[in-house]
Structure 1
Amino acid sequence: MDLNATRMFVAVVQAGSLSAAAGRLGIPLATLSRRIRDLERQLKVQLLERSARGAKLTDAGTRLYEHAGRGIEALLEAEQAVVSDQARLKGRLRLSLPQTFRPWWELLSAFQRRYPDIQVHVYSTERRVDLVEDGIDVALRVGAIVYESMVARHVLSYRNVLVASPELVQRFGLPTEPQELHAFPCAVWASHVDVPVQWDFGGHLVKPNAVLSSNDYDHLCCRALDGDVVTELPPFLAAAPIREKRLVALLPQYPLPEWSIHLVYPPHRHQSTIVRTYLDFCGTYLPRVRRACEITIPT
């Protein structure tokens, strides 16, 4: 049975006539009349006796209205309850994010504008936290997933880009091969002191002359903008300075490795409404995050 047509039939009974119901529903009278006739043909019974004075229920129409009216009211109440729950959604959401992952900051800002009563706690770190032990609802993780007991939802992939300022390129020249980087002062991302770092340019491995190592991409970006070093940056940090010609992309013909980004969370059979809402929101917002991770290299 066509539920939408049944809803229209209930509206006709409640309004007292086809024309009044069409006005309430905001549809043409001819469309409403056709849908009611289609319903009658589907059920193979006459539901309404039409006359110049209006529409009168037949016995079959009365029985349908008694049952369908209650069902339609229940559906409307359920819809209103869901909408009200969304509007009143309250509580705390505990997240783990990589440091300096700015596109996700924008996602969280949009999420809280949509759900202002949800308190968000963000723990930013490059280390792999234990979600259960550290009380994290959902983690955003870069690289290989080692949480065998967790759900890992892939959301996007990107490559870092090697950059330097125009002033540094003017001083040292523009490298055309990865091995030429040995002559440049470099800054590298490293999670620990004295950890050897290699840059992989599609199988061309280079151990850079690292005058600085840091686990903060913002720091590396500032030093590159100051003209001090060559460094690698995530595309969402490098895109605007490259577009504004404050940084130059180096060796674009030798791409750096691709990084995969996942949302990681415990496999609860009954997830909280807040976590489900957050995961659904991430899915709808992801196209904007992907655009932020795209970069165009000027030629």
Structure 2
Amino acid sequence: MDSFAISIFVHVADTRSFVAAGRAVGVSASGIGKSIARLEQSLGVRLFHRSTRSVTLTAEGEMFLERARRILDEFNAAQAELSQTMSTPRGRLRIGLPMISEPFVLTLAAFQQRYPEVELDLDFDNRHVDVIDEGYDVVIRSGSIDDSRLTSRTLGTFQMWLVGAPDYFARRGTPLHPRDLQDHDCIQFRMPNTGRLQAWQLQLGVGEPEPLLGRRITCNTDEARRCFALEGIGIAYMPHFAVGEALRSGALVRVLKDYTLEQNTFRLLWPASKHITPKLRAFIDFVSEHIPLDKRP
């Protein structure tokens, strides 16, 4: 049994005619009949009732038809995927990303240099986008996945740290316990999907109340809160990758290390499909390999 024999069977089932099926695949009616006979012998069942006027499916033929269509679909999909692996990634790729430059922009630039025939259409937005309805090829998002229509791949983890400028701590003192934050200026972040302020997840003792956070300024981008922290405005609760360079240079320092343990995950999400285009496959593999998420300052 091969895919061509199964294809002939499906054509006969659809047309109810050996002659019409033969025209569709370029084989004589007698050749079609012989192919069906060999298939029936291989399966050990009769697939068609034949008469001088009509060809109709038997009960076994009806049962086999559904699976035959699936077999052909899988075979065609496998052929398409194999042929795509031999082609050069090219064309437009629409990508959704969080509204942050690090650690993604340098990786995207490296991808574009590696695959110059792929056009990157980048949409930086912190809101929860609908990947399929809004026409994205792939998005990068943090948090859990609750859409069965999507396929995902984990890129890496990141931690949330408390940071501030040395001159700020020289003026206001260094907090030694989360409760000290009520006496400090805190740079708050407003969540784009809910409009609520981001919670600072701090490790506290049993029964210990959540600290009240002093509020100096509220914003909705990482770049803004990092800038305010660098200018000595207050303490910011930031992803580690967004402040790595500033920590290495000493422009920012980390505080309350033993109390900030929140960890989250970035993932690639794309529409679940049997066919992944060469440009999308190249992007998924490249970003998964080169994104520097798990590096710590």
TM-score above 0.5, yes or no: yes
Question: How far is 1:253 from its partner?
Answer: 1.1
**Structure 2 CA distance for partners of 1:157 and 1:117, relative to 1, 3 Å:** same
Question: How far is 1:243 from its partner?
Answer: 1.6
Q: Provide the C-alpha distance between the structure 2 equivalents of 1:241 and 1:139, rounded to a whole number of angstroms.
A: 27
For 2:274, the equivalent position in structure 1 comes to: 269
Residues 191 and 197, structure 2, Cα contact 8 Å, conserved in 1 = no
**Runs of 4+ in structure 1 over 4 Å off:** 81-84
What is the CA deviation profile of residues 154-181 of structure 1, one whole-angstrom value per residue up to 9, with x for unaligned ones? 1111112101111111111111100100
Amino acid at match of 2:189: W
For 1:107, the equivalent position in structure 2 comes to: 107
What is the CA deviation profile of residues 266-288 of structure 1, one whole-angstrom value per residue up to 9, with x for unaligned ones? 111011111111112123214x3
Question: How far is 1:196 from its partner?
Answer: 4.2
What is the CA deviation profile of residues 231-281 of structure 1, one whole-angstrom value per residue up to 9, with x for unaligned ones? 112212211112211111010111241111111111110111111111121
Tell me the TM-score normalized by structure 2: 0.66
Within a 5 Å distance, the mapping from 1:72-151 to structure 2 comes to 85-86=87-88, 89-151=89-151
Question: How far is 1:203 from its partner?
Answer: 4.2
Amino acid at match of 1:178: P
1:226 to 211, 225, 231: 231
Q: Provide the C-alpha distance between the structure 2 equivalents of 1:203 and 1:243, rounded to a whole number of angstroms.
A: 28
Secondary structure of the structure 2 residue equivalent to 1:147: coil
Q: Provide the C-alpha distance between the structure 1 equivalents of 2:167 and 2:190, rounded to a whole number of angstroms.
A: 25
Residues 155 and 268, structure 2, Cα contact 8 Å, conserved in 1 = yes
- Please report the RMSD computed on the Cα atoms of aligned residues, expressed in angstroms: 2.1
What is the CA deviation profile of residues 194-235 of structure 1, one whole-angstrom value per residue up to 9, with x for unaligned ones? 624431112463342122111111111111111111111221
Amino acid at match of 2:118: I
Larger RCO, structure (CA 8 Å, separation 6 or more): 2
What is the CA deviation profile of residues 32-68 of structure 1, one whole-angstrom value per residue up to 9, with x for unaligned ones? xxxxxxxxxxxxxxxxxxxxxxxxxxxxxxxxxxxxx
For 2:188, the equivalent position in structure 1 comes to: 188
Tell me the TM-score normalized by structure 1: 0.65
Identity of matched residues, %: 25
1:281 to 281, 286, 290: 286
Q: Provide the C-alpha distance between the structure 1 equivalents of 2:245 and 2:204, rounded to a whole number of angstroms.
A: 28
Residues 197 and 208, structure 1, Cα contact 8 Å, conserved in 2 = no
| 1:236 corresponds to 2:241 | yes
Moved more, 139-148 or 198-207: 198-207
Q: Provide the C-alpha distance between the structure 1 equivalents of 2:181 and 2:276, rounded to a whole number of angstroms.
A: 49
Amino acid at match of 2:164: A
**Structure 2 CA distance for partners of 1:199 and 1:82, relative to 1, 3 Å:** closer
Q: Provide the C-alpha distance between the structure 2 equivalents of 1:101 and 1:209, rounded to a whole number of angstroms.
A: 28
2:252 to 247, 250, 254: 247
Unaligned runs of 5+ in 2: 1-82
Question: How far is 1:109 from its partner?
Answer: 0.6
Unaligned runs of 5+ in 1: 1-80
**Structure 2 CA distance for partners of 1:82 and 1:147, relative to 1, 3 Å:** closer
For 1:206, the equivalent position in structure 2 comes to: 211
> How many residues in Structure 1 have an aligned counterpart in Structure 2?
210
For 1:217, the equivalent position in structure 2 comes to: 222
For 2:26, the equivalent position in structure 1 comes to: none
**Structure 2 CA distance for partners of 1:130 and 1:194, relative to 1, 3 Å:** closer
What is the CA deviation profile of residues 75-106 of structure 1, one whole-angstrom value per residue up to 9, with x for unaligned ones? xxxxxx989833xx320001000111411111
